[in-house]
Structure 1
Amino acid sequence: MTVPALFRGLFDDAAVFPPGDLPLAEAVPAHLGHRSAWYADAVGPFLCGAGRAGELAAPAVPGLRVGLVLPGGSDRPGPVPLHGLDVVGVELVGTEVPAGLPEGVTVSLELPRDELLVKRLDRLAGTPHRAKFRTGGLTADAFPTEAELAALLTACAERGVPYKCTAGLHNALRHTDPVTGFEHHGFLNVLLAAADPSRAAEALAERSGPVVAAAVRALTDAQVATARASFTAFGTCSIAEPLADLAALDLMSQENR
């Protein structure tokens, strides 16, 4: 089975981060298992806090592609400790890019949702870097509303700024969490919004699985390319959960996109 282009490299493995909190000794073998499975093309790099990168390097794991997540709070980040790892991405809060990164390393700059956000996007426009947005968390206000997220995605599209998302997005469809009552965005909703920013609010609001699945199947190749040029990936502590959602909607075959 071939992973459809819409989902290739979409799921960054954040198993060691909350709420998964999987120990490295378990998370790394699990990630390598994902990378050798039939759905490997859907799996992005293994995300790890920069402070724990040394643990990954001793001993080094062949074939492990790593995304380092730097701690926040530094306006002028120093050199990133690579520890000889195959680092393919670096993520941090702020607008300053760390010095001394190897060529080809993707930089994701987490932008706070405040009155300066649009100006920060203006600074990212025309650079090789991408924005990073939090789409959830431990409190209700950590989740942007449909209108707020639609405005963010539209602003990125207008400026040609790609983005990734993190937190609260590992299910395919928009839904209300039955335990917390929090309103969760769905990653398929975000993909549809990225494919057609003019209808972003409508796409983000849709909760019907059949309606969303039909819209995904109707995407043209050009729309798929547009969606993934914008919405590049999201971090999920469970690779299995988003895959299960796609399978339930019959979207994991190439024919069904």
Structure 2
Amino acid sequence: MLTKINVKWEEAAVSHFMTELIDYAGLFPPAALPLAEAISNYHSYIHGSDSWMLGPFVIPASRLNELQPFAAQFNDQYPLRLSVILSKSETIEKEIEAMNLFLETYDTAGSIEAVEVPLPEKVDFSFLEKLEQYTGNYPVYCEMTGTNQEILTTLDAISSLNQISSKSIGVKMRMGGIRADLFPSAERAAFIIHETQKRGLAIKFTAGLHHPIRQYRNEVETKMHGFVNVFTASIMAYCRSIHIETIQAILLDEDPTNFSFTKEALSWRNFTVSSAEIDKARTLFAASYGSCSFDEPREELGELTIFQGEAAQ
């Protein structure tokens, strides 16, 4: 049961931190739910008291045509909001057509909030231009792979395009998976957060962030990153321009007592950011993260004793 965050505090730091933080990715491992079940879950979540923490429903563009039977479950007050994952560069036109068909079918009962794109290790600048052209006004997040040097090259290419574009392309970082080798080191995660923030790019995360605080988990036989760690590090990076070593220290911290929410601020050790700063960082830099569970993260967060003061009733 949620004990501290089941009421949205009007001016509380945890509210700014958690608002639309979790994109629901129930179709993806380890949950890997059938579409009907995942849609049913999302429908339940948007009608629940914690709906303010919920972002879009994450779906591959290749499965958009499967959504038609569920249109009657949504309306303009409770729409099916999507974050759509494109597949390969050679199919982008077809997948954009599928997005347009979804919008025509759902009308005001559906929307597309963002587009996510996996990139090859070596990115062709012309592909980024094509991506910018075809995705219109949708926010775009590019998932990168490769060495640190290849990632720097990609970040520079995205930054260069953003300088001449009417829109801004951001970055997507994978934080885990179903095997230990899919979890990036804190050093690598800190590097990408730091370099992304330096270039003024937005970032979102996906996978492996089921738990608030970094911890060892038997199911993957490794330590999983905590979403409180990741977003505290990202918010501090944006608001305080902290050194990469400090970003890494926040990511590595397994002691929840080093994190604290008051009604006005979030603190990690001696670093503090206000509610207004959290809101700005979440809006302009640290967007959200995809999770195949909406229940687990918020319930575990509610169990932590990191909230100072009681929620307004």
Q: TM-score, normalised by structure 1?
A: 0.89
Unpaired runs of 5+ residues, structure 1, are none
SS in 2 for 1:150: helix
Unpaired runs of 5+ residues, structure 2, are 1-6, 10-14, 104-110
Q: Match for 1:225: what amino acid? A: D
Q: Distance in 2 between matches of 1:239 and 1:253?
A: 24
Deviation at 1:121, TM superposition (A): 1.1
Deviation at 1:148, TM superposition (A): 1.1
Identify which of 110, 113, 121 aligns with 1:88: 113
Deviation at 1:246, TM superposition (A): 1.5
1:38-53 correspondence to structure 2 within 5 Å: 38-53=49-64
Determine the structure 1 residue equivalent to 2:255: 208
Report % sequence identity. Answer: 27
Q: Distance in 2 between matches of 1:118 and 1:132?
A: 14
1:56-93, Cα deviation, whole Å (9 max, x unpaired): 1235243111111122x436732511123322211111
1:194-235, Cα deviation, whole Å (9 max, x unpaired): 122222011111001222235935531344135413221110
Relative to structure 1, is the Cα distance of residues 235 and 254 closer, same or farther in structure 2, using a 3 angstrom cutoff? farther
Larger Rg: 2
Determine the structure 1 residue equivalent to 2:30: 19
Report if aligned partners of 1:192, 1:227 keep a CA contact under 8 Å in 2. Answer: no
Report if aligned partners of 1:169, 1:186 keep a CA contact under 8 Å in 2. Answer: yes
Larger mean Cα displacement after TM superposition, 19-28 or 213-222: 213-222
Q: Distance in 1 between matches of 2:83 and 2:294?
A: 16
Q: Distance in 2 between matches of 1:113 and 1:24?
A: 31
Deviation at 1:243, TM superposition (A): 0.5
Report if aligned partners of 1:13, 1:31 keep a CA contact under 8 Å in 2. Answer: yes
1:181-192 correspondence to structure 2 within 5 Å: 181-192=221-232
Deviation at 1:145, TM superposition (A): 0.9
Name the Cα RMSD after superposition.
Answer: 2.4
Please identify which structure carries the higher helix content.
2
Q: Distance in 1 between matches of 2:293 and 2:224?
A: 16
Q: Which has the higher contact order (CA 8 A, sep 6+)?
A: 2
Q: Determine if the alignment matches structure 1 residue 166 to structure 2 residue 166.
A: no
Q: How many residues align?
A: 254
1:114-135, Cα deviation, whole Å (9 max, x unpaired): 2310121122223512100111
Runs of 4+ in 1 over 4 A off after TM superposition: 250-256
Report if aligned partners of 1:196, 1:223 keep a CA contact under 8 Å in 2. Answer: no
